[in-house]
A and B are shown apart, each in its own frame.
Chain A
Amino acid sequence: MVAESGPLSHLRVDELRRYGEELDAIREEILADRGTRDRRYILRLIGTQRALALGSRLAMLAACAFHPWLALPWASMSAFLVVLGLGTLGLALAKILENMEIGHNILHAQWDWMGDPEVRSDRWEWDHVCPASQWRHSHNVVHHMWTNVMGRDRDVGYGMLRVTERQRWSPFYAIQPLSFLVMMALFEWFIALHDIEVAHVWSGKRSWDEARPLVRDGLRKVGRQVLKDYVLWPVLAGPFFLWVLGANFVANVLRNVWTFIIIFCGHFPAGVHHFAKGSVEGETRGHWYARQMLGSCNIDGGRLFHVMSGNLSHQIEHHLFPDLPSNRYPEIAPRVRTIAARYGIDYNTGSLRRQFGTTVAKVLRFTLPGPVPAAH
Chain B
Amino acid sequence: MHTAETASPFGLQAARDSRADAIGARPRSTLRGRLVGAADLFAWPLGLSHYLELVNPLWSTHTTWARVVDLIDETADARTLVLRPGRGFGAYRAGQYVPVTVTIDGRRHTRTYSISTAPGRAPGRGGIAITVKHVAGGRVSGHLVRGIRRGAYVELGTPQGEFVLPDAPRPRLLLLTAGSGVTPARAMLQELSARGALADVVHLHWAPRAADVIFARDLASLAAAHPGYRLHVLATCEPPSGVATAGHFSPNLLDARCADWRARDAYACGPRALLEAAEAHWTASGCAQRLRVERFQPVLAPLPADVAGGRACFRRSGVTVETGAGQSLLLAAEAAGLAPAHGCRMGICHTCTVTLRSGRVRDLRDGRVTDEPGARVQICVSAAAGECEVEL
Contact = CB atoms under 8 A, between A and B. Distances in A.
B262 interface: no
B41 A145 contact: no
A228 B374 contact: no
B348 interface: yes
Contact of A232 (B10, B19, B42): B42
A114 interface: yes
Contacts of A34: 106
Contacts of A117: 10, 13, 19
Given A35-B106, A141-B343, A118 B42 contact: no
A277 interface: no
Nearest to B50: A50
Interface stretch (A72-80, A121-129, A206-214, A336-344): A121-129
A115 B103 CA distance: 9
A38 B107 CA distance: 10
Interface stretch (A132-140, A196-204, A256-264): A132-140
Given A35-B105, A50-B54, A121-B350, A115 B372 contact: yes
A38 B349 contact: no
Contacts of B62: 118
B167 interface: no
Majority-rule SS of A interface residues:
helix
Interface in B1-45: 10, 13, 16-20, 41-42, 44-45
Contacts of B348: 140, 144-145, 322-323
Given A127-B45, A224-B45, A115 B349 contact: no
Contacts of B103: 36, 39, 114
Interface in B340-354: 343-344, 346, 348-351, 353
21 contacts: A31-B366, A36-B105, A36-B106, A39-B106, A54-B51, A109-B376, A113-B376, A115-B376, A117-B13, A118-B19, A124-B18, A124-B19, A125-B18, A125-B19, A133-B18, A136-B349, A137-B351, A140-B344, A140-B349, A232-B42, A322-B349
Contacts of A331: none
A8 B10 CA distance: 49
Contacts of A37: 106
B63 interface: yes
Given A122-B18, A125-B20, A141-B351, A115 B108 contact: yes
A228 B50 contact: no
Interface string A23-63: 00000100100111111100000010011001000000000
B330 to A, nearest CB: 14
Interface string B237-274: 00000000000000000000000000000000000000
Contacts, number: 111
Contacts of A194: none
Contacts of A227: 41, 44
Given A39-B103, A115-B375, A115-B376, A140 B351 contact: yes
Interface string B103-137: 10111110000000000000000000000000000
Given A122-B18, A136-B351, A144-B349, A228 B376 contact: no
A120 B376 contact: yes
Contacts of A108: 350
Given A114-B106, A122-B350, A125-B20, 6 more contacts: A35-B105, A113-B106, A114-B107, A115-B374, A125-B45, A224-B45
A241 interface: no
Contacts of B19: 117-118, 123-125
B353 A228 contact: no
A121 B350 CA distance: 8
Contacts of A180: none
A232 B343 CA distance: 38
B54 to A, nearest CB: 6
Interface string A139-170: 01100110000000000000000000000000
Contact of B41 (A28, A39, A144, A228): A228
Interface residues on A, range: 35 or more
Contacts of A113: 106-107, 376
B148 interface: no
Contact of A225 (B44, B54, B109, B368): B44
A123 B18 contact: yes
A228 B41 CA distance: 6
A116 interface: yes
A232 B375 contact: no
Contacts of B69: none
Given A122-B353, A132-B18, A137-B351, A228 B344 contact: no
B223 interface: no
A122 B106 CA distance: 19
B46 interface: yes
A120 B20 CA distance: 12
A224 B20 CA distance: 11
- Ranked nearest first, the 3 interchain pairs of A and B with the lowest CB-CB distance are A141-B343, A39-B106, A109-B350
Contacts of B17: 123
Contacts of A144: 344, 348-349
Contacts of A123: 16-19
Most buried by A among B41, B106, B374: B106
Contact of B343 (A39, A40, A137, A323): A137
A112 B106 contact: no
A323 B350 contact: yes
Contact of B344 (A47, A121, A132, A141): A141
A1 B46 CA distance: 52
A296 to B, nearest CB: 14
A145 B342 CA distance: 13
A303 B346 CA distance: 32
Nearest to B39: A232
Contacts of A232: 41-42
A228 B42 CA distance: 5
B353 A112 contact: yes
A335 to B, nearest CB: 18
Contacts of B18: 122-125, 132-133
A224 B44 CA distance: 7
B301 to A, nearest CB: 23
